[in-house]
């Protein structure tokens, strides 16, 4: 899935924060705001300006919470000023590349997935500042740091964790005596039962990135981990591999069996949410960041989240929407570390988690909410894996693979779609060899 989408998802979720947070914004008091909270700022220190580039810094509610956080950081560290640089998520990949390659001032910036993180890394060997020795990293779950760890060195700091799959109307399920399926066969039986009841089983829509919530989840449940994906990209495994084909075929079964809205090609994702809110659909293909906006549509409806199962099991997946990184060429590495530690500190993550109903990526957090507890039970399982699309090496290739899947869903023959996907993989491998 295109990372601009992940960025917009996170923004959409955080837009609900003002109703959940205190007037002070996402940053708490100095105590517990991160491992650097005990650092004393000496007034005689020279003034430093850091430029922070992000897709999160819009002027809507989400952006205001981050601007408030920055204000509090500047009050705490009066010798450090943050110069904000907002780039719309649609243009974010190109915008960051232009800044990195053009030598424009860039101290701290955000990236929204392992694939985008890797795509920036391909611009050169010295893109990210090595954070391995930073004391504040001890606060984070080891699994949350793995996607930004290269050769044993850590180059990014995570925000909250989500998962991808199906959000379902738990109130409806309980009323009909339905259980969450653990196998694909049971899932198909569930969809058939719902359709017989006059209820749309899955609110799938025409947004090009939505099918990955089904397709990518099945791949994860089929065992397509990072090692398998590396073989796919190296050519050792082909797109015609049974694991890959199975995920495509299963995703299309939702279409051919009529388990999605008849007018799905004209629906936008927000309209799909309305189908859930009005009780017309039982499930929606989505990430858990959509839970707050779905709750707003129908406060009386209790929601649940399920992983899309494969033939034998449903493997939980982890999606960390944003990683904060530091440019290796920054003239102020220590101040940049202070800023990142503050923005991603435990207390701040706890408040962000309550607003977005996500799971903090720090250890020993406190964020009591039923939805967070349910999601935590998923993403902290020992068998949880990185959501499959995120294991693809670059954003560009990830998008091209999904384009091939979409063409199959829209009517292309399976062999034709697989050929399109294989060509994209081969081209990406050749690009790497030619660098």
Helix pair angle (3-14, 346-356), 10° resolution: 90
Residues 346 and 234 placed together within one structural domain of the fold: no
- Residue 283 vs residue 355, higher pLDDT: 283
Please indicate, yes or no, if residue 191 is contained in any of the structural domains.
Answer: yes
pLDDT of residue 19: 34
Dihedral over Cα of 230, 232, 235, 236: its sign = positive
The residue out of 315, 337, 372 marking a domain boundary is 315
Tokens 């068998």, residue located: 383
- Residue 15 vs residue 299, higher pLDDT: 299
Residues 182 and 307 placed together within one structural domain of the fold: yes
Q: Please report which confidence band the pLDDT of residue 354 belongs to, taking 50, 70 and 90 as the band edges.
A: confident
Q: What percent of the chain has pLDDT over 90?
A: 65
Would you say residue 34 has pLDDT above 60? no
Residues 204 and 352 placed together within one structural domain of the fold: no
Please indicate, yes or no, if residue 422 is contained in any of the structural domains.
Answer: no
Q: Dihedrals φ, ψ of 186, to 5°?
A: -65, -35
Would you say residue 329 has pLDDT above 80? yes
What does the pLDDT look like over 303-312, one tens digit per residue? 999 999 999 9
Mean pLDDT of 83-99: 92
User: Residue 146: CA atoms inside 13 Å, Cβ hemisphere, count?
Assistant: 13
Q: Please report which confidence band the pLDDT of residue 221 belongs to, taking 50, 70 and 90 as the band edges.
A: very high
Would you say residue 21 has pLDDT above 80? no
Mean pLDDT of 286-290: 90
Please indicate, yes or no, if residue 419 is contained in any of the structural domains.
Answer: no
What does the pLDDT look like over 117-145, one tens digit per residue? 999 998 987 899 999 999 999 999 888 89
User: Distance between CA 266 and CA 271 in Å, rounded?
Assistant: 10
pLDDT of residue 113: 81
Residues 74 and 108 placed together within one structural domain of the fold: yes
Q: Please report which confidence band the pLDDT of residue 65 belongs to, taking 50, 70 and 90 as the band edges.
A: confident
Would you say residue 50 has pLDDT above 50? yes
Query: What secondary structure letter does DSSP report for 139?
Result: G
Residues 106 and 117 placed together within one structural domain of the fold: yes
Dihedral over Cα of 7, 203, 411, 266: its sign = negative
**Which of 154, 160, 162 has its CA nearest to residue 326?**
154
pLDDT of residue 44: 66
pLDDT of residue 13: 38
Residues 275 and 346 placed together within one structural domain of the fold: no
User: Distance between CA 105 and CA 94 in Å, rounded?
Assistant: 16
Residues 37 and 92 placed together within one structural domain of the fold: yes
Q: Could you list the residue range(s) of the whole structural domain that residue 28 is in? A: 3-161+320-388
Please indicate, yes or no, if residue 398 is contained in any of the structural domains.
Answer: no
For the chain, the domain total comes to: 2
Would you say residue 22 has pLDDT above 70? no
User: Distance between CA 293 and CA 313 in Å, rounded?
Assistant: 29
- Overall pTM > 0.85: no
Residues 11 and 83 placed together within one structural domain of the fold: yes
pLDDT of residue 9: 35
Please indicate, yes or no, if residue 417 is contained in any of the structural domains.
Answer: no
- Any idea which of 50-64, 77-91, 170-184, 281-295 has the lowest mean pLDDT? 50-64
Residues 32 and 122 placed together within one structural domain of the fold: yes
User: Distance between CA 163 and CA 149 in Å, rounded?
Assistant: 20
Q: Assign residue 21 a region (left: φ > 0; alpha: ψ between -120 and 50; beta: otherwise).
A: beta
- Residue 82 vs residue 36, higher pLDDT: 82
pLDDT of residue 63: 67
Average pLDDT of the chain? 87
Would you say residue 362 has pLDDT above 60? yes
Please indicate, yes or no, if residue 234 is contained in any of the structural domains.
Answer: yes
pLDDT of residue 208: 86
- CATH no. for residue 56? 3.40.190.10
Would you say residue 38 has pLDDT above 50? no
Six token digits for residue 205: 């829509």
Q: Please report which confidence band the pLDDT of residue 10 belongs to, taking 50, 70 and 90 as the band edges.
A: very low
* Size of the chain, expressed as the number of residues it contains: 435
Three-state SS at 51: strand
Three-state SS at 317: strand
CA 7 to chain centre: 7
Residues 37 and 141 placed together within one structural domain of the fold: yes
């Amino acid at each position: 899935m295109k990372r601009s989408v992940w960025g917009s998802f996170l923004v959409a979720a955080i837009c609900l924060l003002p109703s959940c947070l205190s007037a002070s914004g996402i940053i708490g008091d100095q105590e517990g705001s991160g491992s650097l909270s005990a650092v004393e700022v000496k007034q005689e220190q020279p003034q430093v300006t850091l430029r922070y580039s992000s897709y999160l810094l819009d002027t809507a509610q989400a952006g205001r919470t981050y601007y408030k956080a920055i204000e509090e950081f500047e009050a705490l560290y009066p010798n450090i000023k943050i110069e904000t640089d907002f780039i719309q998520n649609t243009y974010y990949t190109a915008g960051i590349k232009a800044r990195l390659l053009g030598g424009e001032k860039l101290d701290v910036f955000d990236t929204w997935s392992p694939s985008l993180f890797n795509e920036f890394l391909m611009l050169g060997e010295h893109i990210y500042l090595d954070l391995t020795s930073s004391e504040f990293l001890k606060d984070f779950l080891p699994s949350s740091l793995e996607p930004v760890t290269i050769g044993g060195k850590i180059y990014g700091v995570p925000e909250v964790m989500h998962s991808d799959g199906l959000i379902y109307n738990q109130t409806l399920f309980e009323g009909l005596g339905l259980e969450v399926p653990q196998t694909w066969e049971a899932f198909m039986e569930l969809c058939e039962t719902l359709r017989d009841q006059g209820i749309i089983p899955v609110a799938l829509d025409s947004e090009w990135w939505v099918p990955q919530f089904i397709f990518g989840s099945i791949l994860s449940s089929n065992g397509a981990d990072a090692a398998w994906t590396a073989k796919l990209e190296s050519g050792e495994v082909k797109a015609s591999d049974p694991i890959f084909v199975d995920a495509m075929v299963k995703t299309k079964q939702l279409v051919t069996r009529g388990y999605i809205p008849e007018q799905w090609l004209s629906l936008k994702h927000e309209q799909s949410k309305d189908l859930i809110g009005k009780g017309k659909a039982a499930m929606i293909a989505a990430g858990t960041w959509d839970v707050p906006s779905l709750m707003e549509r129908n406060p009386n409806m209790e929601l649940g989240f399920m992983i899309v199962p494969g033939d034998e099991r449903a493997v939980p997946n982890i999606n960390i929407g944003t990683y904060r990184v530091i440019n290796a060429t920054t003239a102020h590495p220590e101040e940049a570390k202070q800023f990142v530690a503050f923005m991603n500190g435990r207390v701040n993550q706890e408040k962000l988690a309550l607003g977005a109903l996500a799971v903090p990526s720090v250890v020993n957090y406190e964020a009591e909410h039923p939805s967070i507890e349910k999601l935590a039970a998923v993403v902290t399982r020992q068998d949880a894996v990185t959501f499959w699309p995120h294991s693809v090496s670059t954003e560009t290739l990830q998008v091209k693979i999904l384009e091939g899947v979409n063409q199959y869903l829209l009517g292309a023959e399976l062999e034709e779609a697989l050929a399109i996907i294989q060509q994209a993989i081969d081209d990406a491998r050749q690009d790497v060899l030619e660098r």
